[in-house]
């Protein structure tokens, strides 16, 4: 009888597998998101350094970094954000800071991306003009980044 019960339990568990496969299922998407955010962060870091230290301002570098940000923001990132790849899923809490809220209101998530695209279209025009333009643009871009991160990204532990 014990063997029969054990076999039934094993069979049931195989029908309803534990949700630990999510980490592996979404590994490439989460890695792509991390790489994408790293590229955004790298370019923002270049610009932020110039905004904080006007003596380091280089119009050419500022213009190219702003253009890089615009190109990144204009990418279609939907494939990096499949439903279920959030930190609320089993096995993903320590792999991603993406909150389940993204998929609860994906239209708002996409709208925030569009707002960033709009801000960056303006930023590209002024980042390479002078430090004041750079600072003004950084404020616009930062506001849009913050708006999305506050809503859809969990804080660091």
- With b for 16 or more beta-carbon neighbours within 10 A and e for fewer, the 55-72 pattern comes to eebeeebbbbbbbbbbeb
pLDDT greater at residue 5 or residue 157: 157
pLDDT greater at residue 14 or residue 141: 141
Distance CA 79, CA 155 (A): 23
Contact 91, 22 (CB under 8 A): yes
Q: Is residue 84 left, alpha or beta, with left meaning phi > 0 and alpha meaning psi from -120 to 50? A: left
pLDDT at 11: 46
Q: Is residue 83 left, alpha or beta, with left meaning phi > 0 and alpha meaning psi from -120 to 50? A: beta
pLDDT at 2: 54
**What domains, with CATH codes, occur in the chain?**
2-152 (1.20.120.10)
Residues 126-145: pLDDT tens digits?
A: 999 999 999 999 999 999 99
Residues 72-98: pLDDT tens digits?
A: 999 999 999 999 999 999 999 999 999
Residues 109-129: pLDDT tens digits?
A: 999 999 999 999 999 999 999
pLDDT at 10: 45
Which spans in the chain are helix H?
2-15, 22-25, 27-52, 59-73, 101-104, 106-126, 131-152
């Amino acid at each position: 009888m014990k063997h029969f019960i054990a076999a039934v339990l094993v069979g049931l568990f195989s029908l309803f597998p534990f949700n630990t496969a999510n980490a592996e299922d979404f590994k490439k998407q989460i890695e792509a998101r991390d790489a994408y955010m790293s590229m955004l962060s790298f370019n923002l870091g270049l610009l932020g350094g110039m905004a904080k230290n006007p003596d380091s301002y280089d119009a050419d570098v500022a213009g190219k970094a702003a253009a890089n940000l615009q190109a990144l923001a204009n990418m279609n990132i939907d494939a990096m954000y499949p439903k279920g790849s959030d930190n609320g899923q089993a096995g993903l809490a320590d792999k991603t800071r993406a909150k389940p809220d993204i998929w609860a209101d994906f239209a708002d998530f996409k709208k925030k991306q569009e707002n960033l695209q709009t801000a960056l279209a303006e930023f590209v025009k002024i980042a390479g003009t002078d430090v004041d333009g750079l600072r003004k643009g950084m404020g616009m871009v930062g506001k849009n980044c913050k708006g999305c991160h506050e809503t859809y990204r969990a804080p660091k532990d």
